[in-house]
Amino acid sequence: MPTLQVRNVPDDVSRVLKERAAREGQSLSEYTLRLLEREAARPTRAELLARLASRPEASFTEEAVDIIRRSRDA
């Protein structure tokens, strides 16, 4: 498994992460790995837009206003 090294972490950021890891009963390494896994699982804005663009365009046979009006009248 590859190793990731982060340099020049500001003292305040390091302190906060260490405190949070301790509260979770985890090492700093375990805690930051969990953060990285969570971030990697989330698609970026560009990935979301590409996914949406690849979907077929929806087509409707009825106007939304007509559907709503009929539902209200019922």
Least confident piece of the model among 39-43, 44-48, 67-71: 67-71
pLDDT score at 58 = 83
Whether 17 has a pLDDT exceeding 90, the answer reads yes
Yes or no: say if 28 and 17 are a contact pair by the CB < 8 Å rule.
Answer: yes
Q: What angle do CA 19, 8, 37 make, to 5 degrees?
A: 60
Q: In the numeric block, which tokens belong to residue 39? A: 């971030």
Maximum Cα interatomic distance, the chain, rounded to a whole number of Å: 65
